[in-house]
Amino acid sequence: MTDPVQDPVRFIDERTAGAALLRRGLRYLFPDHWSFLLGEVALYSFIVLIGTGIYLALFFDPSTAKTVYHGPYTPLDGQTMSAAFKSVVDISFAYKAGLLIRQTHHWAADVFVASMVIHLTRVFFTGAFRKPRELTWIIGLLMLFTAFLEGYLGYSLVDDLLSGMGLAIGYGVGLSIPVIGGPMTLSLFGAPFPGKPELWSRMYIAHVLLIPILLAVLITIHLALVMARHHTQFRQSRRHTERRIVGVPLFPGQTPRSLALVFFVAAVLFLLGGLVQINPIWQWGPFEPWLGTNGAQPDWYLGWLIGALRLMPSFDLTIGHFTLVPNPFWGGALFPLVVLGLLAAFPWIERRLTGDRTTHNLLDRPRDAPNRTAFGVAFLTWVFLIFAFGAADRIFVLLGLSYNTQLYIFRIGIWVVPLALFFGVRRVCRELQTSDRIEEVREQAEHEAEEDRGAVAGAPAQPAG
Amino acid sequence: MSYRKRLRFMSLRARILAVATVFALGAVAIAQAQPQSGIVRPTTEPSNPSAQLGAQLFAGNCSSCHGISGSGIASPRPGAGGIPGAGPPLQRVGASAPDFYLRTGYMPLASIHDQPAPDRVLFSDNEIRSLVAYVASLGPGPAIPHPAPASGSLSDGLHLFTEHCAGCHQGLARGGFVTGALVPPLQGVTATEIAEAVRIGPYLMPRFSQKQISDSQLNSIIRYVLWTRHPSDRGGWGIGNLGPIPEGLVTWWIALPLLVVACVLLGKRFGR
């Protein structure tokens, strides 16, 4: 008798010896706290990105050859545009579910990066980056910055008005990097802006193949490292210690959780894709170097760079008449490098400052490390304020607060507000610690009092806890 | 801006005051003084537009800045209440400019330090026609245009608008900021006002000649600008047609909270 289930399973197991590995994997314990699911949101957004991206790649044409549009969208009728732009207009108006998939793809990108940022803040404020998980932290940061680049390439490929203006800014920032910037940017673009047609095939191969593979590899290493050193956990009970893991197994405990989350993430992204318009390129129209629109913005995850470019006082590093470092370098290149560098070095900086070299499997609550928490809040606020200034022109239009007034407020505010927050937050953390200690002492005292009374009455002492 | 608002709050009292002043000066007031706010009107206003009514209104409301008979005042000069007045001469602006500046509420300007901005229109239609007739009578100049947007092409309009106007007014005419000026959104303007603005070039906006933008191209532009009131939002909720800023807000304030709530609920649901 053959068994339709057991036989194929045995066949595979005998040839792969996979059962033992699988059993180990299924028994892997997940910490029991919702904040550990934030990273999964990013992972599932990435999966949606890949899925929708494959569909879009079936129709997208990465070519700058000029064509004349005659399609269903009449306001563009008769306009000359690149084949790339036309193919995206066609995806939006002519192909089945094209617009839904396109919008879902774009929302997924926005959410992918946002969920990574949230995940990063959780990891930071709980000290999960400490030994032995520094590499996991660094890989995470690399993924974040790779995602910035991937998103930028994605919307640049479309060749609409906004993407062209974004490329022009990227070109300027690239040129501003001392020594290597000029040759590197020029060889990438093939010629001075707007570059040669090759630029499109380069961006395309990077966007649909090279960077997704890089991201997938980084994700794999990230997860492998998490598994290897195991998750961290909160000190939720006395059973949670540095050496003992308490949690739910991958199967059956975590699996339904993660499955539900996959579906929820996909549902939110597809709902947004179907209901909320994102990057309506048919409204912006095709790009030509002499065209532009007021208030052009990059996607949100690059907004902090626009804010930095605008906030930076006009200041070039010059020797005589020779400009050594042009202005866009400060906001567009140095600023993100400083942010990346500081975050990447943070585990070592903290170790230096606290002298704590031990291994940590238990997480801090934010209050447990007042200096770290205070620095984190100040640092995030610094970046956020610079980000917010990127929208100063819109704030002016909406609230009437003049651009120059805002410029002065922000130039001072980005230093003063984080500094004030640093001391404020540190204070709050310490107060919370104190009240924790008082609470502990009180419980202890109550406990002892009870024991005393018990002894007096001759009753047996209550067992602890 | 805020100064201007404060003035408007006072307008009733100030108006009575101003009318009393005009009364004292006689029917044809040659007001040296700029009224602090509101509008100075003759006590008995004819019900038909006339250049004569226009002259009276001009003397009371405009001459402090634009000079007697619209000859212009070059450098700031204190008017009533110490508010300085200065404005360009109006002897060659024709009918188009006063029509535009009055129907958008740009004039009378509250303070010469302010950018003229779209505002509440303080004059009645009758009064505007009178003022326009009066200013037009001061010298030769362009008449009020009569554009025909229906004969324009939406596609040409989109392209021309992107080429000539979007750098300041934003691609879907949602307005913005350029160094030195706030650029108004154009969803509330009429076809005539657009045609006037393009040929006049108010404030920092350039003036476009027939050579740069022909009348038929102008019709296309106007058709496009009127269309931006309800652009084609094929993708769903248009979130203001402003591009990535509202998209980022939706990401952070709608998508992410939903997902975090899901995490919290799932973390509890299957926890124990």
Q: Answer whether residue B27 is part of any domain.
A: no
Q: Are residues A282 and A201 in the same domain?
A: yes
Q: Answer whether residue B5 is part of any domain.
A: no
Would you call B168 an interface residue with chain A, using a CB distance cutoff of 8 Å?
yes
Amino acid at A92: S
Q: Answer whether residue B272 is part of any domain.
A: no
Residues 205 through 244 of chain B touching chain A, CB cutoff 8 Å: 224, 227, 231-239, 241-244
3-state secondary structure B11-29: HHHHHHHHHHHHHHHCCCC
Q: Answer whether residue B62 is part of any domain.
A: yes
More reliable by pLDDT, A11 or B19: A11
Residues 367 through 396 of chain A touching chain B, CB cutoff 8 Å: 391-394, 396
Q: Are residues A113 and A91 in the same domain?
A: yes
Residues 6+ apart with CB under 8 A from A246: A29, A31, A32, A233, A236, A237, A239, A240
Q: Are residues A348 and A369 in the same domain?
A: no
Residue of B nearest to A247 (CA): B271
Would you call A115 an interface residue with chain B, using a CB distance cutoff of 8 Å?
yes
Q: Are residues A378 and A267 in the same domain?
A: no
- In tens digits, chain B (272 residues) has pLDDT values of 344 433 344 444 545 544 444 444 443 333 333 444 568 888 778 888 888 899 999 988 898 889 888 888 877 766 555 556 688 899 889 999 999 999 998 988 888 788 888 888 889 999 999 999 999 999 899 999 999 999 999 999 999 999 999 999 999 999 999 888 889 999 999 999 999 999 999 999 999 999 999 999 999 999 999 999 999 999 999 999 999 999 999 999 999 999 999 999 998 765 44
* pLDDT more than 90, % of chain A: 74
Q: Are residues B56 and B89 in the same domain?
A: yes
Q: Are residues A347 and A264 in the same domain?
A: yes
Q: State in Å, rounded, how far the first CA of chain A is from the last one.
A: 58
Q: Are residues A291 and A383 in the same domain?
A: no
Q: Is the peptide bond before B108 cis (omega within 30 degrees of 0)?
A: yes
Q: Are residues A340 and A370 in the same domain?
A: no
pLDDT at B20: 47
Q: Domain residues for A312?
A: 26-352
Calculate mean pLDDT across residues A80-86. Answer: 96
The total domain count for chain A is 2
Q: Domain residues for B168?
A: 149-227
- Out of A250-264, A307-321, A425-439, B71-85, give the one with best mean pLDDT: A425-439
Nearest residue to A298 via CA among A181, A456, A197, A152: A152
Q: Helical H runs in A362-402?
A: 370-389, 392-399
Q: Do B155 and A391 touch (CB under 8 A)?
A: no
CA–CA distance, B134 with B99 (Å, rounded to integer):
11
| Angle at A166 (CA atoms; ends A163, A168), nearest 5 degrees | 115
Contact (CB, 8 A) for A296 and A166? yes
Domain of B154, CATH number, reads: 1.10.760.10
Contacts of B174 in chain A (CB under 8 A): 295, 397
Q: Answer whether residue B253 is part of any domain.
A: no
Q: E-strand spans in A409-449?
A: none
Last residue of a domain, one of B79, B114, B136: B136
pLDDT at B51: 87
Q: Answer whether residue A357 is part of any domain.
A: no
The total domain count for chain B is 2
Q: Answer whether residue A69 is part of any domain.
A: yes
Residue of A nearest to B2 (CA): A400
Q: Answer whether residue A340 is part of any domain.
A: yes
Q: Are residues A396 and A341 in the same domain?
A: no
Q: Are residues B119 and B153 in the same domain?
A: no
Q: Answer whether residue A453 is part of any domain.
A: no
Q: Are residues B130 and B167 in the same domain?
A: no
Q: Answer whether residue A7 is part of any domain.
A: no
Q: Do B158 and A79 touch (CB under 8 A)?
A: yes
Q: Answer whether residue A376 is part of any domain.
A: yes
Nearest residue to A156 via CA among A168, A174, A139: A168
Domain of A230, CATH number, reads: 1.20.810.10
Domain of B102, CATH number, reads: 1.10.760
Q: Are residues A369 and A343 in the same domain?
A: no
Q: Are residues B123 and B154 in the same domain?
A: no
The interface pTM score, or ipTM, of the predicted complex is 0.90
Q: Are residues A87 and A167 in the same domain?
A: yes
Q: Are residues A337 and A419 in the same domain?
A: no
Q: E-strand spans in chain B?
A: 73-78, 84-87, 176-178, 181-183
Binning chain B into helix, strand and coil, the percentages to the nearest 5 are 50, 5, 45
Q: Are residues A383 and A339 in the same domain?
A: no
